Amino acid sequence: MTHAFRAIFVAVVLTLNGAAVAEPFKDAEAAYAGDDYATALRLFRSLADEGDATAQHRLAIMYERGLSVPQDYAQAAEYHTVRSRGDV
Q: Mean pLDDT throughout 1-19? A: 51
Residue 10 has pLDDT above 50, yes or no: no
Q: Which domains does the chain have, with CATH numbers?
A: 24-85 (1.25.40)
Residue 1 has pLDDT above 60, yes or no: no
| Cα-based distances in Å from 80 to 56, 61, 85 | 7, 9, 9
Q: Is 88 or 32 the better-scoring residue by pLDDT? A: 32
Interval 19-46: pLDDT, tens: 455 699 999 999 999 999 999 999 999 9
Interval 44-87: pLDDT, tens: 999 999 989 999 999 999 999 999 999 999 999 999 887 666 55
| Cα-based distances in Å from 21 to 8, 31, 50, 76 | 20, 16, 11, 24
